[in-house]
Structure 1
């Protein structure tokens, strides 16, 4: 008779759960930030392209772009006024004269030294100087006594409301922009918004004058035929037979600082610095949004069942790796005291008090309390052998207390 044979079933592999994020999980978490960065970069590039196209030919009498000023130059030429474009401070200063109107298209681009030198050259010349939308502090240097108000005009088309013949003949014009105030008693203040003018004419001692214009709209090609813009532009720029149109250039040697060398950040346009600041703020907000928030501990079910012995061994290996014999000894003594206290009639709240636990143990064992104090509350062991000996002695003490 043949004995039955038994076949062992193959062992079922234990399922494991990896805590390392997969590529799909990483993409799911990071795609929001990546999308925001892509949109931010695309928006910055779009704004840069639009601004670069917008700045091309702005207030240039040779440009036919919507924001150019070729139409103004053509109208002035029909009335016998010649227009010449200059891009350096020396050319602008040399062109100033009693029969010349000097238009400064971008006063705020001039350095402090350039503004001072230009004002010194135009004041005694006896001609007309037109400042297009100067802001603080350039207006105070090119037109002393004039300050720019921080609140702009929200209406572009304004009525003259002054006695200046050029403004009265032009009527309503799109001068609304920067508003000004002046201490000059003989100044003509026109096109008021909330009692502050957007156009000022300041007479000079030698027959010349300075015109401060709050907005460049009347000089644009696509705005020249609106309101009384053409009439006002013609009268302001055509009072002399020659018009010198000064377009400040960054390549002008006079724009360099008088002393010292320019640093790296001095060479960067202010827009790049503001853009970097915005990117930094956006990155900080994204980090705050995605950062880990440390709250109260939450119990979670483990994906697999782990034996208690494995947990003990794992913690023991960690203690051994960092030579944490003091922590291991404290854990052993604390656990032993907790188990011994109810056996000798000591409340759990007093289990770690030597004044309460040690007398009860001594009475139960009929022994000396000093060895028990060194064993349960003594100093940490000095080496691994002493730690093993401590564990053995604690086990022996617990067995002795439990013995009937």
Structure 2
């Protein structure tokens, strides 16, 4: 039985590898074999496309790395005078520089102690983070330097070593209290963001208490040592942050507290100087918390660029179209190949439909049934039955029946259809 063709399936477009595939198809006399397609051009186009994609990815990656590197130069962390982040302190450092104050960043207690003197202001950004040894070093520097020391939000953990005689009195309940004292720096600055942190209490003489909240000051100025130095306890670091420096009298108060001497030593405690009990642990942070902010933004931009590139290069799938084959393929090979595909996917329903459809069309042509009625059981089945001899058969079930249950039933169906068509031809 001649293999049927599926009218709903587009013609294959891939060139066969077998030599006989280039022979002319049956029924096409004088047809010369088409030359094999040149694979060089498509392969060259594919390589060029891949190179363009790889180049674009490399450019995006290089740009992301460059942006992260440039961005990392301005991101150092909270209260860092080199950081332009909202929680950095670059703004106040620049204002101090304009007023002739030199800012030096140190990361160890010994560096901080060695840099102090009568003409320096020592700013300790995180006193509670210091270990016992580091607190002793800073305390010695406070007593001997003769300069000013500013401690940001020290709690009872560090007050006993760095400022004996002072204790914490609780949390501040007023965000922007009034000065409430005669300290020139406070009276000229007016209201400032010294609240939101800690308040202090002390019975030491000659102490100036400012910015009260809940009956206790959020700023204390204490005389220190016999050399005329002083210590400033500030319950909140808000007045030094970039995001809040321009609010109320924050800038004025920060500049006067840190700019009273020509040199400013900005002490950012490192991990080596940290107290194990108070140092932040990497175990408490997630993976994203450990990635620098610059790299996070760079990765996000790279991801967006990749999505846009994917959308740009995407191809919308349209309906199937029939294409001309580049070479002539034997009908038997096409039939066998399609049959193997049907068998591999257990598509007996599709195979049975193809067999019956092709048989109905050929029978309709033999019997003179219009092509539009070739798939109508009421028109085709009586015409076929009228040409048959012998025992009556259920032509409708054979030509329009159900799907075979297994491969053997499918083979039997093909045989019955073949026999039916031969009988009609010979009758």
The TM-score normalised by the length of structure 1 is 0.55
CA distance in 1, matches of 2:344, 2:120: 92
CA distance in 2, matches of 1:264, 1:292: 39
CA distance in 1, matches of 2:161, 2:407: 90
Task: Tell me which residue corresponds to 1:47.
Answer: 67
CA distance in 2, matches of 1:311, 1:18: 22
Q: Do residues 331 (structure 1) and 354 (structure 2) align?
A: yes
Task: Tell me which residue corresponds to 1:213.
Answer: 239
Task: Tell me which residue corresponds to 1:26.
Answer: 46
CA RMSD of aligned residues (A): 5.7
Gaps spanning 5+ residues in structure 2: where? 1-31, 83-89, 105-115, 177-182, 198-209, 221-233, 246-250
The TM-score normalised by the length of structure 2 is 0.52
Query: Which of 54, 77, 81 is the aligned partner of 1:59?
Result: 81
Aligned length: 319
Q: Do residues 237 (structure 1) and 258 (structure 2) align?
A: yes
**Partner deviation per Cα, 1:205-224 (whole Å, 9 max, x = no partner):** 3462667436559x9xxxxx
Query: Which of 297, 300, 303 is the aligned partner of 2:323?
Result: 300
CA gap of 1:56–1:269, structure 2 versus 1, over 3 A, is closer
Alpha carbons 2:360, 2:374 under 8 Å: kept: yes
Greater RCO, 1 or 2 (C-alpha within 8 Å, sep 6+): 2
Gaps spanning 5+ residues in structure 1: where? 1-11, 108-113, 128-140, 148-163, 171-178, 185-200, 220-229
CA distance in 2, matches of 1:283, 1:115: 49
CA distance in 2, matches of 1:361, 1:314: 31
CA distance in 1, matches of 2:121, 2:285: 41
CA gap of 1:242–1:126, structure 2 versus 1, over 3 A, is farther
Alpha carbons 1:103, 1:244 under 8 Å: kept: no
Q: Which has the higher mean CA deviation after the structures are superposed, 208-217 or 370-379?
A: 208-217
CA distance in 1, matches of 2:380, 2:351: 21
CA distance in 2, matches of 1:118, 1:349: 97
Alpha carbons 2:121, 2:149 under 8 Å: kept: no
CA gap of 1:283–1:327, structure 2 versus 1, over 3 A, is same
Q: Do residues 102 (structure 1) and 150 (structure 2) align?
A: yes
Structure 1 residue 337: Cα displacement: 1.4
Q: SS at 1:296's partner residue?
A: coil
Q: Do residues 90 (structure 1) and 138 (structure 2) align?
A: no
CA distance in 2, matches of 1:86, 1:15: 81
